């Protein structure tokens, strides 16, 4: 089995400011993100040979992308994989380039959530697997199940557990305060977190990420062509995706203190990228902190922390922007926001900028290898994508 | 001779003090409290609960018919008994029938079952009566009436009581009614309802019955009947020489309320649960006439123990101390909804409902014949060993269970926030994710013992979406 390592490079990226973009249509956001990426890569629309669209709730066919961008009768693929949709679009584009089917491909992720008129995410009930005989489950409740169990298994009182989780939110808000494209750009205190309204016990408001509008785009090319586009391309080292069989909802063997898909996806990605000690070899990570507890368990599942030791590492500041392994330097889903189809590519946008040394006030010192972790579904029934990229071939 | 083989009763766990209603409306209080069905209960789910208790020790293959009696069926066209039979997993050649529209439908169904058994047409018939009646807020009847259900398994073998006779008298009177255009029950003027309704009709019927069978008050240990006013009942039976304090089975008045079509049978369950061998019980079911059933316990009554007696259920309760909560449960006031996706997006389709009737609806899953792993919902490929189509049916509804983890979800649409999302692990294997009901928030703990209960998830687009929830097991209370 071959690896994608060093076969594909990212040479241009774009991302709009995420948020309640009431003044922007889905087309506006696609155009702004894609054209920022064209400009960054120094290409024009006509140079694109194939495109992938990651988008969950708005449309059918690749027309949603081809129409605003006026793509010229090229192949366009519409992908979706719940909250991991953005990474799925990237995978499609990268594999096409790696296969030689095309040399220059575009991946765009976009979501328009603030036109629904309600809080949270729309219902997703694919008709092929329809069952109304399932519990009503909002995403915060689905992830809160993991917080309740993690607290219980690690002997944390609810107060202790919530205080620990609040540190994750405070860190991500601090990072977000340095990011002009983030949905939320204010710092918060531990007390503000602890006193916030309950959403899904034990998770309260600041344990939950923003629901946002947004779009992000990437131009990927053959690695051997990359330097002809720019001096500082970013090379793809690994692209893995792990789809669980929804076993955790049915099998008592699943413990609700980790996400098996994340654990397995991490192992596969490290193998593909040739990484043996992720905690040391990964410089920065953008992970799917849809909820504070998710970020905590990801630290263990991706082997950044030893099993059961994430609380210690969080308390010691390991994942803060000046820590040993900065996590979610752009504010993460918590503050950058979570326009579902765009999120995977937004993560890559931050890693890309950091590896190029262009992350402004939040620039981490000399990162070489970055990781994105993008998750769809819930604990027990997830799909997880891990991408690893580096600035050296 | 046909008789009663087993009984079961269900009283909703929530009890509203009558003083709370009085306080809310600034009216005079009555003593005691009334049982209030949870927002996810209706006559059908309560009927299932009573039936499950009644059938606990029974081989389901022996049940030939299910008769369901209520004045408050969830559907006016579409049989409740068939849905209940599917939930209870009764054999597919079970006769199912609804007895509706009368407070006398419970005792009437017993009479019909009796005739069928005595004629030899059927061997064993499950009769289940249940009611959740809605009176206008601030009405007297709102205070008098409560919710509940009872079930009898009738047959000839191994009876705990024989039914000596069944007399029936009709009487046309407009005393308590609800037309096809009304949501709330209506009543005629109080005195008329009491004196010309219940009192006159039951008095005539009891007089007739005692005379016909040459019985007198002293021949009975208990009288079980259904009316909202215990004093009227006492006055009536005193006239025949009954001593109300000893002979009237009336625990329900103070602790539950008048449970409509289920009341006489619930009282009879209470009487049987406390009876000695060879005692007679008179059951007088009122409603557009009167049914008199004479029950006589056998020596087997001594060995009979209910799954959970009426008196135990009277004690097992959660106080409902917020009248607004009750109004919201019954959708008597419209409150601001959360800004969430409309429930219509989750409307069940009849096609998917129908496919799931054999398995999911009854909480029946599969067990792998290769590796033995129980799994729900029913699978075709084993989640552990991936064997294909090598399964046997496996029922989870009566399994003991434990709470793996939970969340109180304040964001989800429900008449009673929060939804307590629960991960339920069954003894012997298997897991489901479901809501927890009949629970107080601060009672919920990781590792607590649970049992499963059949409830209504929600109602949308004219369709009731029934499924299972977990609730704290008895020993937690």
Please state, in angstroms and rounded to a whole number, the distance separating the CA atoms of residues A292 and B256. Answer: 46
Q: Is the pLDDT of residue B441 over 70?
A: yes
| Cross-strand pairs, B391 | B368
Distance (Å) of CA B362 to CA A73, A119, B455? 53, 34, 11
Contacts of B365 (CB under 8 A, 6+ apart): B359, B374, B375, B376, B377, B378, B379, B393, B394, B395, B396, B430
Range of the domain at A14: 8-111
What is the DSSP code (8-state) at residue A208?
Answer: B
Q: What is the CA radius of gyration of chain A?
A: 19
Residue B409 and residue A138: Cβ atoms within 8 Å?
Answer: yes
**Poorest-confidence range of A271-280, B280-289, B334-343, B403-412?**
B334-343
At residue B475, what are phi and psi to the nearest 5 degrees? -70, -10
User: Is A286 within the bounds of a domain?
Assistant: no
- Alpha helices, H only, A257-320: 260-273, 278-281, 292-301, 310-315
Contacts of B319 (CB under 8 A, 6+ apart): B14, B15, B16, B17, B33
What is the sign of the dihedral through the CA atoms of B335, B338, B344 and B348? negative
Distance (Å) of CA B324 to CA A252, B17, B19, B24, B148? 39, 13, 14, 9, 21
Determine the average pLDDT of the residues in B108-135.
Answer: 98
Average pLDDT over chain A, rounded to an integer: 95
Active site residue A83: yes
Determine the average pLDDT of the residues in A328-355.
Answer: 97
Strands B14-17 and B318-319: parallel
Q: Which single residue is written with the structure tokens 């409509």? A: B260
pLDDT score at A131? 63
Contact A15, A345 (CB under 8 A): yes
Give the DSSP H/E element, type plus range, for residue B246: helix B244-247
pLDDT score at B421? 96
Average pLDDT over chain B, rounded to an integer: 95
At residue A249, what are phi and psi to the nearest 5 degrees? -75, -15
CA B185-B266-B158 angle, 5° bins: 145
Q: Which tops the pLDDT comparison, B250 or A356?
A: A356
Active site residue A338: yes
CATH number at residue A63: 3.40.47.10
| B327-336: long-range contacts, CB 8 A cutoff, minimum separation 24 | B327/B137, B328/B39, B328/B415, B328/B416, B329/B36, B329/B38, B329/B39, B329/B415, B329/B416, B330/B39, B330/B134, B331/B415, B332/B137
Q: Is the pLDDT of residue A305 over 90?
A: yes
Q: Is the pLDDT of residue A128 over 60?
A: no
Q: What is the CA radius of gyration of chain B?
A: 22
Q: What is the three-class DSSP state of A11?
A: strand
Strands A104-111 and A50-54: parallel
pLDDT score at A60? 79
User: Is A40 within the bounds of a domain?
Assistant: yes
Q: Is the pLDDT of residue B477 over 50?
A: no
How much of chain B is in helix, strand and coil states, percent to nearest 5? 30, 30, 40
Residue A250 and residue B361: Cβ atoms within 8 Å?
Answer: no
Q: Is the pLDDT of residue B362 over 70?
A: yes
User: Is A138 within the bounds of a domain?
Assistant: no
Q: In chain B, what residues touch A203 (CB-CB under 8 Å)?
A: 407
**Token duo for residue A191:** 């007390």
Instruction: Quickly list DSSP for A276-287.
Output: S-HHHH--EEE-
State the number of CA atoms in the 13 A half-sphere of A99 facing the CB: 10
User: Is A41 within the bounds of a domain?
Assistant: yes
User: Is A166 within the bounds of a domain?
Assistant: no
Provide the pLDDT confidence category of residue B476 given band limits of 50, 70 and 90.
very low
Catalytic residue among A15, A78, A83, A193: A83
User: Is A88 within the bounds of a domain?
Assistant: yes
At residue B127, what are phi and psi to the nearest 5 degrees? -110, 125
Whose CA is closest to A342, among A17, A5, A4?
A17
User: Is A33 within the bounds of a domain?
Assistant: yes
Q: In chain A, what residues touch B458 (CB-CB under 8 Å)?
A: 136
Please state, in angstroms and rounded to a whole number, the distance separating the CA atoms of residues B458 and B363. Answer: 17
pLDDT in tens, B144-178: 999 999 999 999 999 999 999 999 999 999 999 99
Identify the closest residue of chain B to A145 by CA–CA distance.
B406
Q: Is the pLDDT of residue B93 over 60?
A: yes
- Alpha helices, H only, chain A: 26-41, 63-69, 85-99, 139-153, 158-176, 190-194, 226-229, 260-273, 278-281, 292-301, 310-315, 332-336, 343-355
Please state, in angstroms and rounded to a whole number, the distance separating the CA atoms of residues B169 and A282. Answer: 86
The minimal CB distance from B339 to the residues A118, A148, A247 is found for: A118
Residue B409 and residue A251: Cβ atoms within 8 Å?
Answer: no
Interface test with chain A among B345, B365, B404, B411, by most A beta carbons within 10 Å: B411
User: Is A312 within the bounds of a domain?
Assistant: no
ipTM, interface predicted TM-score of the complex: 0.95
Count: domains in chain A: 1
Residues A331, A335, A340, A344, Cα dihedral to 10°: -10
Domains of chain B: 3-329 (3.40.47.10), 350-476 (no CATH)
């Amino acid at each position: 089995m071959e690896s994608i390592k060093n076969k594909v490079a990212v040479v241009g990226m774009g991302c709009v400011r995420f948020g309640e973009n009431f003044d922007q249509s889905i087309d506006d956001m696609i155009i702004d993100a894609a054209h920022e990426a064209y400009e960054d890569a120094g290409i024009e629309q006509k140079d694109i040979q194939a495109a992938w669209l990651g988008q969950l709730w708005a449309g059918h066919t690749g027309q949603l992308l081809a129409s605003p961008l006026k793509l010229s009768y090229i192949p366009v693929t519409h992908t979706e994989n719940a909250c991991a949709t953005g990474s799925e679009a990237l995978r499609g584009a990268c594999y096409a380039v790696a296969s030689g089917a095309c040399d220059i491909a575009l991946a765009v992720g976009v979501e328009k959530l603030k036109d629904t008129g309600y809080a949270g995410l729309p219902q997703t009930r694919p008709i092929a697997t329809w069952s109304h005989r399932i519990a009503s489950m909002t995403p915060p409740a689905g992830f809160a199940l993991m917080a309740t169990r993690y607290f219980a298994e690690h002997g944390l009182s609810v107060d202790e557990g919530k205080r620990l989780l609040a540190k994750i939110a405070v860190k991500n808000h601090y990072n977000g305060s340095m990011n002009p494209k983030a949905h939320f750009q204010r710092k918060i205190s531990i007390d503000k977190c602890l006193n916030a309204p309950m959403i899904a016990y034990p998770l309260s408001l600041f344990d939950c990420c923003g629901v946002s509008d947004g779009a992000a785009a990437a131009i990927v090319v053959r690695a051997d062509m990359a330097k002809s586009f720019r001096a500082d391309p970013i090379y793809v080292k690994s692209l893995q995706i792990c789809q669980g069989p929804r076993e955790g909802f049915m099998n008592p063997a699943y413990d609700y203190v980790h996400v098996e898909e994340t654990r397995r996806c991490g192992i596969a990605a490290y193998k593909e990228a040739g990484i043996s000690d992720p905690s040391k070899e990964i410089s920065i990570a953008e992970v799917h902190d849809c909820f504070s507890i998710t970020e905590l368990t990801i630290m263990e599942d991706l082997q950044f922390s030893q099993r059961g030791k994430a609380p210690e590492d969080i308390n010691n500041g390991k994942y803060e922007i000046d820590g040993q392994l900065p996590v979610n330097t752009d504010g993460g889903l918590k503050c950058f926001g979570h326009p579902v189809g765009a999120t995977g590519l937004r993560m890559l946008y931050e890693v890309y900028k950091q590896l190029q040394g262009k992350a402004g006030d939040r620039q981490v010192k000399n990162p070489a290898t970055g990781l994105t972790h993008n998750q769809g579904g819930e604990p027990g029934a997830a799909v997880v994508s891990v991408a690893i990229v580096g600035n050296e071939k | 001779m046909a008789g009663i083989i087993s009984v079961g009763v269900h009283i909703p766990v929530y009890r509203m003090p009558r003083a709370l209603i009085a306080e809310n409306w600034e009216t005079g209080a009555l003593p005691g409290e009334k049982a209030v069905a949870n927002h996810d209960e209706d006559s059908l789910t309560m009927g299932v609960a009573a039936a499950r208790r009644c059938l606990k020790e029974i081989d389901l293959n022996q049940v030939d018919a299910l008769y369901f009696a209520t004045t408050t069926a969830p559907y006016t066209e579409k049989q409740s008994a068939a849905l209940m039979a599917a939930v209870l997993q009764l054999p597919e050649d079970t006769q199912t029938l609804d007895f509706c529209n009368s407070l006398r439908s419970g005792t009437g169904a017993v009479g019909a079952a009796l005739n069928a058994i005595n004629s030899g047409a059927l061997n064993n018939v499950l009769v289940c009566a249940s009611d959740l009646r809605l009176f206008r807020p601030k009405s007297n009847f709102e205070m008098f009436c409560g919710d509940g259900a009872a079930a009898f398994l009738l047959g000839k073998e191994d009876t705990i009581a024989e039914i000596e006779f069944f007399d029936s008298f009709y009487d046309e009177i407009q005393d308590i009614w609800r037309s096809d255009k009304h949501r709330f029950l209506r009543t005629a003027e109080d005195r008329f309802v009491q004196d010309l309704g219940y009192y006159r009709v039951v008095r005539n019927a009891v007089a007739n019955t005692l005379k016909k069978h040459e019985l007198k008050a002293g021949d009975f240990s208990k009288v079980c009947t259904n009316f909202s006013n215990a004093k009227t009942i006492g006055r009536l039976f005193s006239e025949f020489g009954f001593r109300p304090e000893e002979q009237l089975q009336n625990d329900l008045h103070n602790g539950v309320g008048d449970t409509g079509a289920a009341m006489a049978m619930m009282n009879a369950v209470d009487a049987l649960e406390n009876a000695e061998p060879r005692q007679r019980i008179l059951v007088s079911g009122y409603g557009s006439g009167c049914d008199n059933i004479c029950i006589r316990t056998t020596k087997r009554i001594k060995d009979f123990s209910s799954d959970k007696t009426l008196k135990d259920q009277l004690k097992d309760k959660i106080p409902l101390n917020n009248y607004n909560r009750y109004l919201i449960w019954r959708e008597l006031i419209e409150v601001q909804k959360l800004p969430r996706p409309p429930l219509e997006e989750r409307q069940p389709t009849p096609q998917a409902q129908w496919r799931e009737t054999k398995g999911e609806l009854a909480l029946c899953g599969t067990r792998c014949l290769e590796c033995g792993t129980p799994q729900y919902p029913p699978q075709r490929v084993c989640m552990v060993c991936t064997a294909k189509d090598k399964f046997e049916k496996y029922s989870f509804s009566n399994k003991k269970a434990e709470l793996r983890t939970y969340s109180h979800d304040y964001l989800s649409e429900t008449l009673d926030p929060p939804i307590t999302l629960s991960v339920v692990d069954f003894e012997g294997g298997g897991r489901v994710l479901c809501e927890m009901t009949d629970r107080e928030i601060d009672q919920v703990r990781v590792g607590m013992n649970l049992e499963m209960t059949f409830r209504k998830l929600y109602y949308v687009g004219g369709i009731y979406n029934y499924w299972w929830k977990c609730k704290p097991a008895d020993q937690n209370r």
